[in-house]
Each structure stands twice: as C-alpha cells, then as structure tokens.
Amino acid sequence: MGLHSHQVRKIRPKPAAVYVRHRPETTLLYQIVQEYWPEFQAELTSQGRYLPAYVTKEFDEYLKCGRLEHGFLRVRCESCRDERLVAFSCKKRGFCPSCGARRMADSAALLVEEILPYQPMRQWVLSVPFPLRFLFASNPKAMTGALGIVYRAISTHLAHKAGFAKPMAQTGAVTLIQRFGSALNLNIHFHSLFLDGVYIGDANEHPLRFRRVKAPTGGELLQLTHTIAHRVVRYLERQGLLERDTGNIYLTPEAVDASDEDPSNQLLGSSITYRIAVGPQQGRKVFTLQTLPDCGSENPFASTVGEVGGFSLHAGVATNSNERAKLERLCRYITRTAVSTKRLSMTRNGRVRYELKTPWRNGTTHVIFEPLDFISRLVSLVPKPRVNLTRFHGVFAPNSKHRAEVTPAKRGKVKKPRSLDEDQTPAEFRVVMTWAKRLKRVFGIDIETCNACGGDVKIIACIEDPAVIQKILAHLDDRASSTDLSLLPECRAPPVTGLFD
C-alpha cells in the first residue's frame, strides 16, 4: 500500500546543539559557595578548628572552575577565523557539577566500551548502618576490606545458584562507591554492576562459557544480606574497630581516636545523622518539608530488597546483553555528581532549599539548610585524596587472567600492530576521545565545529599569564559594551535531555 504525495512528510534532520560556554558564576550553587565559604572558614577558625588542606583546595579550585579570569584556551575556526575562549576546569571529585558531569560521561563510556562485556548485567546496591558510614568515611582501609567481603558473598551466591562450586565459576563486578544521599547527606554505599551469571571453564578451556542465573528472590536477598552483615561486622570486630552489644553496633574508642585529629569529624557525623553542624541550632535535626504520605502505600521494591540490622541490599535493576544504551544510562546514573543544581533553590528568608529526587516514605519532599550548614554538607562530600572510588573485581580486575578474554577492549592481550588504514577499535577510539568528542556523544554538542561557518576549530594558545588574561578580557568587555547586547542569546548550560530517560 503506497502513500499519496500529500501524505508524505519530509523528515528534516535534527539540528545539532550549539555549544555555549558554561558560566558558573551565574549558578546558585556557585553564588552560595562564593558568599558563604569565607564565613564558614572564619566560623571554624573562631572555634580553633581547621579543615584539612585537601578540603580547602577543593573549594578554592571550584571557585576558579570555568572562570576565564583564571586562565583559558583560545580556539579559532580555520575557515572564518572566528575565535572563542574555553575556560579551565577544576577536575575535582567532590561537588562540582560541571566536572562531575564530565567524569560521569567519561566513566560511562569507559565501562561500556572497554570493560563490561555483551552479557546480562545486574546492579546490586548495599547500604550500611550509620556507624559504618562514619567509619568508612574516615578509614578507607576498613571500607576496602568490607567491600571485598561483599563481593565474595555475592559472587559465591551467583556460583551456587548456577549449580557450580566457586572455583569452577568466574564472575565479575565493577563497584562505584557513592558518598552522597538524596538529601546531600554523607551516605557511603556501594553500587556494584555484577555479571548476571557466571563464566564456566578452567584455564585450559577456551572460550569460557557464560551461564545466566535467575533474578534473586526476596528470601535469597534476605539471607544474603544477613550473611554480608554478619561477616562485615565480624571482620571489623577482629580489626578492633567495632563492638556489638545486644544487637547494636558501636565504634570502639580506637576507631574514633584514630581519626580524631581530623577536625571535620563532627561535620561528617552531623551529615550522616541529618543534623545541623554549625550555628545556634547545632545538633538539632535538619529542617524538612513534608506532605501527607499515601495511605496504605507499600514499598514497590519490597521483593527486591533485603534488610537486616541497618544493612540494606537491593538488586532490582538489570539489563540484557543487547541493551547497551540502557547499560550506559545506568552507568551514568551511578557515576553522577552529588549536587543537582536543578533541585537547589533559596527560600524568601535566605535559607537553602534542596528538593529530594524521590519523596521519602514519611512524605518528606525538601530539606532546608542555613547557608553555613549547607557549606558543611559540601565539606562532608569531599573524598580523601588517593581513595579510588571505582573498584574492579573478578574477571574485570586488572590482574585477572580472564580479563582479556571477556572484556570488549581485550586488555592484557598482546595486540598485533595495526596498519594506518585500519579502522580503530572501540577501545582505541575511547582512548583518543577528547572531551569535545564526549560532548558530542552525550549532549549532541559539537565544539570542534564552528557555529558560524561549520569549519574545523583548533586550539591556538593556552593563556595562563594574569596580565595577558586581564588584557584580553578587558578588550572583550570593551567590544561587548559597543555591541547591542539585546541581540545576543542568553547563556545557558549544555542540555541534559536524554541522560536518564
């Protein structure tokens, strides 16, 4: 059956998004930090308390991130000679939304194209009790030991469910250690992307055979959570960091004293327990906005969550082997930045209001902070230096003899030299993929193409001398003042449509 001429619709190609420089000084988060960060430091200094150097550097670098006054690249179109400036970024891991979005896109591309094979994957999320959140934040070594226990427990469960003993079955996982909760509270928990099955075979059998397992039942999750909780607590007891008393767990004096030299301890504890850290209301619960919860509403994830003694294990999100786009969206979600600027606002009386992504069971929809207390929340989200927040286990580990066989990038395998006319592999493409290419991949923005003529854009200079910076910016200000500003488009951030659809 054909179409008449008047029924034919001409499909026009979707226009590419145009890159517009992000101006952090116009965002509410930047304005709050810029105004209240010095006051917060002065408040702590008056109490004889000083933040670690890495925290101070995190805030100082954030205030320079994306600001042309602190250096930039000059890029020029090779065709029409049109120029624009690209500001430097801080590349920090705490709360910077811009650098967090870059790291999110980079990490997701790395995982999907180089690490995670074309097999079913399942996300396992483990939350721990309040005392362990504080311990893991101040003692990364204890967190590493506990994470190893968690991986071994889940991988053994998968092997037994597939009908094999642990030595005969190989699995793998990538764990992203998240430090934040939906209310900007310090909430260290583990997001692990596990193979939804196991590889069968020994060192002499090639290739390995993959066997998928069924999704865990509610009873299996409950038993697995009990096993993890018991083993983690027992491990920390042997380390002298934890003790149990009538069903409750407490940090030992040794665990607390080991980190007492860090003056941010009190800030970490307040963030974990949802309490105000500074000011006249110090120690009280954070203010919240609530609505009436739905009458008789039940937890939709009750069958995919195991809860035991403050430990919570969720395993309700999975992807099939052919759902690579869904897998990449999941990777972006678990590597997202801590602060969502879209959910940040100010009240009429000058307090900071942060909207929860999903209302809590008691109807809470927003948390309200005094500005100085909001700064303390950001302080608690800054990780310690040299603490790796992404861990690889099993067949994905760098020292695994099966890594080259199961991963798309074939890491660890000796590669034959490639001729110049051969196409790049996905792994080689990702290695040379610049941030400009990542912008195009994630947001549909092509920064390497001139907006005026469509020509190629190249870097021509790196400007870091303060005198030269001031001279160039003054020239641009003079030129802008002689231009009708009403004709210029309003500055905006890159579009985020489609990130988590």
Mean pLDDT of all residues in 366-370: 93
Alpha-carbon distances, residue 315 vs 196, 311, 392, 462 (angstroms): 11, 14, 19, 47
Alpha-carbon distances, residue 219 vs 89, 190, 306, 311, 399 (angstroms): 48, 21, 8, 15, 34
What does the CA dihedral 234, 262, 57, 280 come to, rounded to 10 degrees? 110
CB-CB contact of 86 with 483 (8 Å): no
DSSP conformational letter for 37: H
Query: What pLDDT is recorded for position 288?
Result: 83
Mean pLDDT of all residues in 460-470: 86
Q: Residue 162, SS3?
A: coil
Q: Which residues contact 397 (CB under 8 A, 6 or more apart)?
A: 172, 403
493 pLDDT above the threshold of 70: no
Q: Residue 261, SS3?
A: coil
Residues β-bridged to residue 289: 366
More confident residue, 204 or 404: 404
pLDDT-based confidence at residue 279 (cuts at 50, 70, 90)? confident
Query: What pLDDT is recorded for position 60?
Result: 95
Report d(CA 432, CA 422) in Å as an integer. Answer: 15
**Residue 380 C-alpha from the chain's centroid:** 15
- Taking residue 26's Cβ as centre, other Cβ atoms within 10 Å add up to 11
For the chain, the structural domain boundaries read 14-56+69-92+444-501, 97-282+300-339+377-406
Backbone angles phi, psi at 189, to 5 degrees: -145, 165
Mean pLDDT of all residues in 389-395: 94
Tell me whether residue 331 is exposed, middle or buried, using C-beta atoms within 10 angstroms of its C-beta: 0 to 12, 13 to 18, 19 or more: buried
What is the share, in percent, of the chain residues with pLDDT greater than 90? 43
492 pLDDT above the threshold of 70: no
Query: What pLDDT is recorded for position 286?
Result: 85
**Residue 357 C-alpha from the chain's centroid:** 15
Question: Which of 107-116, 186-195, 198-207, 473-482 ranks highest by mean pLDDT?
Answer: 186-195
Mean pLDDT of all residues in 258-278: 76
Alpha-carbon distances, residue 35 vs 30, 63, 396 (angstroms): 9, 11, 45
Tell me whether residue 500 is exposed, middle or buried, using C-beta atoms within 10 angstroms of its C-beta: 0 to 12, 13 to 18, 19 or more: exposed
Q: Residue 32, SS3?
A: helix
pLDDT-based confidence at residue 205 (cuts at 50, 70, 90)? low
Tell me whether residue 452 is exposed, middle or buried, using C-beta atoms within 10 angstroms of its C-beta: 0 to 12, 13 to 18, 19 or more: exposed
CB-CB contact of 205 with 127 (8 Å): no
Query: What pLDDT is recorded for position 244?
Result: 78
Alpha-carbon distances, residue 127 vs 198, 315, 418 (angstroms): 24, 12, 46
Query: What pLDDT is recorded for position 459?
Result: 77
Report d(CA 393, CA 401) in Å as an integer. Answer: 12
Alpha-carbon distances, residue 87 vs 75, 100, 263, 454 (angstroms): 11, 16, 34, 22
Mean pLDDT of all residues in 234-247: 85
List the one residue out of 15, 77, 86, 113 whose CA is nearest residue 436.
86
More confident residue, 406 or 300: 406
Strands, sheet with 457-463, edge to edge from the N-terminal-most edge strand: 83-87, 72-77, 457-463
258 pLDDT above the threshold of 70: no
pLDDT-based confidence at residue 455 (cuts at 50, 70, 90)? confident
Could you tell me the two tokens for 237?
């007891």
**Residue 472 C-alpha from the chain's centroid:** 36
261 pLDDT above the threshold of 60: no
Mean pLDDT of all residues in 126-137: 93
Alpha-carbon distances, residue 374 vs 68, 207, 273, 364 (angstroms): 27, 53, 14, 18
9 pLDDT above the threshold of 60: no
Question: Would you report the helix, strand and coil content of the chain in percent, each value rounded to 5?
Answer: 40, 20, 40
> Residue type for 116, please?
L
Could you tell me the two tokens for 114?
């180089």
Query: What pLDDT is recorded for position 425?
Result: 55
